[in-house]
Amino acid sequence: MKSILFKSIHDVPRHDWESLQQDHSCTQSYEFWKVAEQARLNDFRYRYVIFYDELDQPVAITSLYTITTDVAIFAPNALKRVLTWIRRFSPRFFMLKMLECGSPITINKPFIAKSGISHADIVTALCQLLLDLAQEQGHFLIVVRDFEPDTQALQPLFERHSYHLVDSLPNTYLDVSWSNPGEYLAGMKSYYRSKLLKHLRINEKNGIRHEFVDDFGALAEILWRQWLVVHEHASEYQREVLNPEFYREFSRELGERSKVILFYRHDELIAHALLLIDGDVLRWLYVGRTEAANDSLYIYVAHKVVEFAIHLGMARVEMGLTTYAIKKDLGAYMSPIRLALRSPSRWINPFVGFYYPLLNSTPKISNKSVFKNASCVDS
């Protein structure tokens, strides 16, 4: 098996890429990677890999990128305070150069492979490629992401190549089984229904309304500024830094798969939710608002995302990382994610699996029994 590494999505043979991606998530599509690359987020530098068999037929694809990031990105509060103090004098302390395989802005599988192809062979070729690149370019750590429950069989394949599997922030999902929003509310237990309706009434009293928009490129500057307010006040997780170009490219390249819900207080645009229709899954990617406040608006936003998914007939809503309490009150459940880590240094690598969990704290998976016909599963 051979692999070819491409330095830009524009260099990738589009037919080869799409022949493997077409039945998979659109977040692994040619257009999606054009958005990521052309938006020039952070200091991301992207690479794309196509694996070919002995007949030069494409059998697997994946994406790589380098990023300078915080090795203690999920640090517990005590450590976070110490790091904040140290970085007043040394801003790049614990900020290290990493090579990652996966997606920088969505949750995704490490690679896509043609049906019938040995995953063990793909993993062996991929691990060798990652190791060679990391050693050549001087990266401190290799990160392969993201391992959700349906990738259970892949995890031991990476462990055979000296990777350490560690917990990441959980994802959240809501499985949609209602034909209309009324059924969704009726299916809730009275405590959660009354709690939600209380917050919805508060927003209605405050004159909050919403509308769905497909083409939002002209609003890119406003939406980015709203996102920045949320980003700068986030206490749980901060990494990718968006810009207006990201919103413009997202709207243009992904077309009718890209959606935004705009929220108004009377005639003033005060918030938005950025969405992606990915097959039968509605992905809630980002949220923004004009001012940071501890109020009911976020609950209203989240509820309208759920309503939109029901109207579209989606099978599932991906509600993303963090703000777990609110999402669980709406019926979403936490779903574990794992990362595979390896240092290219054979002297450092044995310690990665021990020290990374000490530097990074992730919440325990705990779910609520929100609906009448479901039971709570805590793990």
Query: What's the CA gap between 170 and 181, in Å, rounded?
Result: 26
Confidence of residue 233 (pLDDT cuts 50, 70, 90): confident
Q: Are 62 and 112 in contact (CB under 8 A)?
A: yes
**pLDDT grade for 240, boundaries at 50, 70 and 90:** confident
Mean pLDDT throughout 150-164? 95
Residue 182 has pLDDT above 80, yes or no: yes
Where residue 377 falls among pLDDT bands split at 50, 70, 90? Answer: very low
* Contact of 154 with 121, CB cutoff 8 Å: no
For tokens 């976020």, the residue is 298
Residue 96: what pLDDT?
A: 76
- Average pLDDT, rounded, for the chain: 90
pLDDT score, position 77: 61
Alpha helices in 87-137 (DSSP H): 119-137
pLDDT at 25: 93
Question: What backbone phi and psi angles, to 5 degrees, belong to 213?
Answer: -130, 135
**What percent of the chain has a predicted confidence (pLDDT) above 70?**
90
Weakest-pLDDT range from 63-67, 94-98, 108-112, 196-200? 94-98
Residue 173 · residue 367 · CB < 8 Å = no
C-alpha distances out from residue 369 to 177, 185, 187, 189, 193, Å: 16, 14, 11, 8, 12
As a whole number of angstroms, the distance between CA 220 and CA 151 comes to 35
Q: Can you give the pLDDT at residue 235?
A: 64
Q: Tell me which residue of 77, 71, 18, 68 sits closest to 48, measured CA to CA.
A: 18
Closest to 335 measured CA to CA, from 346, 324, 348, 351: 324
Tokens 């595979």 — which residue?
340
- Residue 95 to residue 229: CA distance in whole angstroms: 23
Identity of the residue numbered 9: I
At 379 the pLDDT is 39
Helix (H) or strand (E) holding 155: helix 155-159
Is 341:163 a contact under the CB 8 Å cutoff? yes
Partner residues linked to 283 by β-bridges: 276, 318
Res 378: pLDDT: 46
Q: So what's the pLDDT on residue 361? A: 76
What pLDDT does residue 174 have?
97
Mean predicted confidence (pLDDT) in 349-372: 87
